[in-house]
Structure formats: C-alpha cells, structure tokens
Amino acid sequence: MSETPQNPSSESPDFAAMTRDIAEVPAVEVIVTVAVNLMSAAAVKLGLTEDGDKHKDLDEARKLVHALAGLLDAGATEVSSFHAAPLRDGLKSLQLAFREASLIPDEPGQGPGEKYTGPVYG
C-alpha cells in the first residue's frame, strides 16, 4: 500500500499562487523583510526578549548579526536611505548588545559584522 495521501492537492502548497504573490513584491520590500527577520532572530539569540536568557545563544547571535551586516552592506545601494538608515541603526544596536553580552568582548573591528561596518565601540 502506498502512503501517499488520497488527495495530495489539499495538503500541498499552491506554488503557482506563491510564485504570483512573490512576483508582485518589490525587491526593496524583500530585502527589508529579510533584514527585519535577521534582526528579530538576533535579538532573541542575544536575550533581548521577555524570556531573556531562556533563548540566549551568543554563537547563534554572532552568525545572525554577521549575516545582517553582510546583507545591509551588499543591499545598501539597492534600497533607499529611507529604508537603509533605520536598518543600520538596528544593526549597530545589535552589535553593541552583543559586545555588552559577551563575557570576553571581541577587539574593536572583530565583532560580528564589523568587517562590513567598521569597529563598534561600546
């Protein structure tokens, strides 16, 4: 007997609709959405949420902050300063939070994302 559902269309996503939906979204909106998701995940991993230390993981936070810095560095010329400025401010806040949360802080210029943003002093 096959374990394939009797009505596969009821359980599978509508890829045509998803493709149509993403085709209507401007690139700037996709970039900003990804950046905000990275910021949110980094904030959780830095313990900046209500649960604080429950989800704190500085190794994971480092990766997320670094990825966010790379995205903003690469996408800065593609998004307007209207979008880029608050994202850069958020990134710097996360970098400072990372520095404060670290038991042994990185040297200036060696923290997450600082290869893209330059040294962050806290």
55-95 per-position pLDDT tens digit:
999 999 999 999 999 999 999 889 988 999 999 999 999 99
pLDDT beyond 60 at 33: yes
Give the helix ranges, DSSP H, for the chain. Answer: 8-11, 15-23, 27-45, 58-75, 81-101, 114-117
Task: Please report the pLDDT score of residue 22 as a whole number.
Answer: 82
Helix (H) or strand (E) holding 3: none
pLDDT beyond 90 at 12: no
- Give residues with Cβ within 8 angstroms of 111, minimum separation 6: 95, 98, 99, 105, 119, 120
**Do residues 31 and 71 touch, judged by C-beta distance below 8 A?**
yes
Q: What pTM does this model have?
A: 0.82
Task: Please report the pLDDT score of residue 9 as a whole number.
Answer: 52
